[in-house]
Chain A
Amino acid sequence: MKRPENDKWLDKALSETIGWKKPRTDFEQWKQKHPEAVEMLTSRADGQASASPGPPTIRRIIMKSPITKLVAAAVIIIAVFVGIEQFDTDSSSVVWADVAERFESVPFINITVYIRKPATKTKKIEIWKSEDSRIRAHEGNTVFFADISKHKNEFTIFDRSTKKLLNGDENLPAFICTFIWELCSKEGRFSLDTLTKSFPSDVKGIIPLETADTAASKETVLFRAKAKEIAPARLKIWALRKSKLPIRFFVRPEGGYMDLFFDYSEHKEAAFFDPVAFTNQ
């Protein structure tokens, strides 16, 4: 049998099976079949919708009389006060997009990851990211360096105690490199959205999960995956309600688990991320 790496036969087989007949790309034909869509697009050019006067709107009706103007102003002021009051305690005000965006905007971060794959022991990985998107990670006696802003699939890997360069060693835990790349967005930032996309495809989104502990839910918000295959308990993400920063990310695939804890307090100097400085220490 051939080794799995030598997969030219598979490339050939897949190309022949999947790519045997290409579709025809013809915009002219598409335009003929979709005149309404074309009309909708081209109408944006001359601003037809905004040019027409249209029926009188509620705004126009209110603004005609000074009394209705005053009443409307009073209603808005009351609504604002009620809204502020609500916002203080409202449990549904944090959405996943806020948390994901906030996470991507943090300048530096330390992530502690516990991973257990089926039939293996739990491994602990420590990852640090600097403001300029440089990475350092520790796993056992191995230390990894990478620069995700350059976005090359390259790591410099050392034995932590002897400082010997290990790149090319077959026994290296390659899953750490894969895991770090799974965390990286195209823009060279760590992204939880990118990480969730590496899970089973049926994750349709991340939605809040109701918690029984109302005291805890005042401080934190809990999310779960919206998916058919993943039960609510299999993917959980905790975030701080006020800052919207995620603090824990837990996923339990078949036979294993992955638990990530986020720390935003530890700032490391540039030398910490420099492989040359590491070997010269």
Chain B
Amino acid sequence: MELNSETQLVEAAQNGHLESFGTLYERYHSSMFALAYSMLADRDLAEDAAQEVFARACRDIGSLKSKERFAAWLAGICRNISRQKLKANKSRGFAPDNEPAVVKRDDTEDRREAIRRAVWSLRESERELIVMRYFDGFSQGQISEVLDISSQAVNGRLVRAKRKIAKYLKRNGYMGDDYETS
């Protein structure tokens, strides 16, 4: 039998069907990476966290009652693991509000750094959205599934977060025109 629906896949994985778990892995690895990256701001740590998420999911999948909320359940595990990693790596991370960004309009890397700082100055929930949206171009529906909020709320929060980023960049000497012309 071909397993298509998510609940079927989850149920099969709960019964020890490795192939179904593999399909779920392929489906959500990238979004778990993005979620972890939004918290850890470090690719290697995010990759470790994403790997660990699925190892823990293997262990605990039997305890998942609402099969249709698999993505949100996975995201919960991912947040916990990322927080633990964050604690263990306190020295890492950005401090966008304490350090003024150095603006060199002809320097791409500095400009990227300013954008990164703007993103990591957001609240965690907004940062998750921004990273998921722009990291791999996740649709509002996919983001809604993983973050367990309605797609209307995704849209509203995305708009608000982008406004904050634009404000931050403006405050630090970047504008849209500058970006386009450089």
Question: Are A22 and B112 in touch, CB under 8 angstroms?
Answer: no
Q: Does B6 make an interface contact (CB < 8 A)?
A: no
**Measured CA separation A222–B119 after assembly (Å):** 35
Identify the closest chain A residue to B181 (Cβ).
A9
Question: Are A37 and B55 in touch, CB under 8 angstroms?
Answer: yes
Which residue of the partner chain, among A12, A13, A23, A184, contacts B29 with CB atoms under 8 Å? A23
Taken residue by residue from 176 to 198, chain A's Cβ proximity to chain B (1 for < 8 Å, 0 otherwise) reads as 00100110111000000010011
A185: B residues at CB distance < 8 A: 150
Chain A to chain B contacts (Cβ below 8 Å), 13 pairs: A4-B163, A10-B162, A10-B165, A14-B119, A25-B30, A36-B55, A40-B59, A44-B62, A181-B153, A194-B149, A198-B149, A200-B123, A200-B125
Identify the closest chain B residue to A1 (Cβ).
B175
Question: Are A14 and B165 in touch, CB under 8 angstroms?
Answer: yes
- Segment at the B interface, from A26-34, A107-115, A209-217, A254-262: A26-34
**Measured CA separation A21–B15 after assembly (Å):** 35
Question: Are B166 and A27 in touch, CB under 8 angstroms?
Answer: no
**Measured CA separation A178–B136 after assembly (Å):** 26
The residue among A4, A11, A202 with the most chain B CB atoms within 10 A of its own CB is A4
Which residues of B in the span 1-53 have a Cβ within 8 Å of any Cβ on A? 13-18, 21-22, 25-26, 29-30, 33, 43, 46-47, 50-51
Q: Does A18 make an interface contact (CB < 8 A)?
A: yes
Whether A45 contacts B175 in the complex (CB less than 8 A), given A197-B125, A201-B123, comes out as no
B15: A residues at CB distance < 8 A: 44-45
B150: A residues at CB distance < 8 A: 151, 181, 184-186, 194
Identify the closest chain B residue to A6 (Cβ).
B176
Number of A interface residues at 8 Å Cβ cutoff, please give it: 49
A25: B residues at CB distance < 8 A: 25-26, 29-30
B25: A residues at CB distance < 8 A: 25, 27, 30
Nearest Cβ on chain A to B71's Cβ, whole angstroms = 11
B18: A residues at CB distance < 8 A: 31, 38, 41-42
Q: Does B100 make an interface contact (CB < 8 A)?
A: no
Question: Are B119 and A18 in touch, CB under 8 angstroms?
Answer: yes
B30: A residues at CB distance < 8 A: 22-23, 25
Question: Are B131 and A2 in touch, CB under 8 angstroms?
Answer: no
Q: Does A153 make an interface contact (CB < 8 A)?
A: yes
Which residue of the partner chain, among B16, B26, B112, contacts A17 with CB atoms under 8 Å? B112
The residue among A27, A33, A38 with the most chain B CB atoms within 10 A of its own CB is A27
Question: Are B21 and A41 in touch, CB under 8 angstroms?
Answer: yes
Q: Does A7 make an interface contact (CB < 8 A)?
A: yes
Nearest Cβ on chain A to B32's Cβ, whole angstroms = 9
A41: B residues at CB distance < 8 A: 13, 16, 18, 21, 58, 61
Identify the closest chain B residue to A45 (Cβ).
B16
Instruction: Give me the 7 closest cross-chain CB pairs, A-B, nearest first.
Output: A45-B16, A201-B124, A44-B16, A9-B176, A201-B125, A37-B58, A37-B55
